[in-house]
Amino acid sequence: MEPKQIKEGYLVKKGTVLNSWKVVWVVLSDDGVEFFKRKADSAPKGMIPLKGAVLTSPCQDFSKRTLVFKLSTAKNQDHFFQATHLEERESWVKNIKRAITCLQGGVKFARKSTRRSIRLPDTINLSELYILMRDQENGVKEQKLEKEKRVYNHCFTGGTVVDWLISKDKARNRPEALMLATGLLNEGFLQPAGDVSKEGVEGGAVSTILDEPNALYYFADSGFFCEGYSSDEDVIVKEEFRGNIIKQGCLLKQGHRRKNWKVRKFILRNDPAYIHYYDPTKGDEYPLGSIHLRGSVITAVEFVPDAKRYDVDGNLFEIITSDETHYFLQAATSEERNEWIKAIHTVSKTGK
CA angle 210, 212, 215 (to 5 degrees): 65
Compute the distance between CA of residue 258 and CA of residue 260 in angstroms, rounded to an integer. 5
Compute the distance between CA of residue 295 and CA of residue 291 in angstroms, rounded to an integer. 11
Q: Residue 351: which of 301, 315, 298, 299 has the closest Cα?
A: 298
Task: Report whether 134 contacts 219 (CB < 8 A).
Answer: yes
| Cα four-point dihedral sign 117, 121, 124, 130 | positive
If 0-12 CB within 10 Å is exposed, 13-18 middle and 19+ buried, where does residue 181 land?
A: buried
Q: Residue 210: which of 233, 238, 185, 245 has the closest Cα?
A: 185
Give the pLDDT of the chain (352 residues) as one tens digit per residue.
Answer: 556 788 999 999 998 777 789 999 999 998 899 999 988 888 999 999 999 999 998 888 887 788 899 999 999 999 999 998 888 888 999 999 999 988 887 766 654 433 333 333 345 678 888 889 988 889 999 988 887 777 888 889 999 999 999 999 988 898 888 888 888 887 778 888 888 888 877 665 556 788 888 899 988 877 777 766 443 333 333 566 777 788 999 999 998 888 889 999 999 988 788 899 999 998 777 788 889 998 899 999 988 877 767 778 889 999 999 989 999 999 999 999 999 999 999 999 887 6
pLDDT of amino acid 233: 33
pLDDT of amino acid 343: 94
Going from the C-alpha of 258 to that of each of 5, 68, 127, 179, 205, the distances in angstroms are 34, 32, 43, 51, 49
Q: Which amino acid is at 35?
A: F
Task: Report whether 209 contacts 185 (CB < 8 A).
Answer: yes
Q: At what angle do helices 126-133 and 174-186 cross, to 10 degrees?
A: 100
Tally DSSP H helices, then E strands, for the chain. 6, 19
Q: To the nearest 5 percent, what fractions of the chain are helix, strand and coil? A: 25, 30, 45
- The number of beta carbons lying within 10 Å of the beta carbon of residue 144 is 10
CA 136 to the chain's CA centroid: 21
Q: Which amino acid is at 3?
A: P
- 99 φ, ψ (degrees, to nearest 5): -65, -40
If 0-12 CB within 10 Å is exposed, 13-18 middle and 19+ buried, where does residue 274 land?
A: buried
pLDDT of amino acid 234: 34
What would you report as the CA-atom Rg of the chain, rounded to the nearest whole angstrom?
Answer: 22
pLDDT of amino acid 118: 30
pLDDT of amino acid 14: 93
138: CB partners within 8 A, 6+ apart: 132, 168
Q: Residue 141: which of 161, 123, 124, 122 has the closest Cα?
A: 161
